[in-house]
A = this chain, B = another copy of it.
Amino acid sequence: MKIPRAIGALIDSFCKLPGIGPKTAQRLTYYLLHVPQIELDNFSDAVSKLKKDTTLCTNCRNVGESDPCLICSDMLRDISTVLVVEQPLDVLAFEKTGKYKGLYHVLHGAISPLENIGPDEIYTSDLIERVKKDKKIKEIIIATNPTMEGEATAMYLTKELKKIEKNKLVITRLGMGIPTGADLEYADEVTLFQALQGRRDV
């Protein structure tokens, strides 16, 4: 195959991204050949500066421009509640609802024994220390994903957080059940069972 080196290099880089196979990588690369150099330079800049121009907040471990991040330094937020999520993207998802006014804690992963990721590989101890030190925290909402790894992480965190001697620390989990707009007919058994268990008075 006679692919020029510059093209091969970019195809390889695209291939390393999740969900992008060799065919898509080829298509993206050849598309970029028709794009003005100024746009390529912008793209190239954005890639190289991504990590240099961002930082992890020492308080909540979210990705931000400043430390502490904009959410942690926002005086209007409810500092008594901390929502624990796996990824920075989960923070965005909750922020989009516009309904959550508390703080966050980003674990940057979930416990997964199969991939050799234990509690020390993600920011669990940071959360424990933060709850121990910050006397104003009254509620921890654990919002890990409803997967095997997320459940394992939630169980571990619940166990460790309960060890902390603190008055009235409430630990909660997200409500489970039928998502809005879903069709009951196609809901799986586990979801239906959880919807039954989580039923509420009206």
Contact = CB atoms under 8 A, between A and B. Distances in A.
Contacts of A20: 28
A43 B17 CA distance: 11
Task: Specify how many copies of this chain sit in the oligomer.
Answer: 2
Q: Is the interface of A mostly helix, strand, loop or mixed?
A: helix
A116 to B, nearest CB: 16
Interface residues of A, number: 56
B47 A51 contact: no
Contact of A6 (B5, B54, B96): B54
A39 interface: yes
Interface in A153-168: none
B27 A63 contact: no
A40 to B, nearest CB: 6
B37 A47 contact: no
A53 B4 contact: yes
A62 to B, nearest CB: 9
Nearest to A6: B53
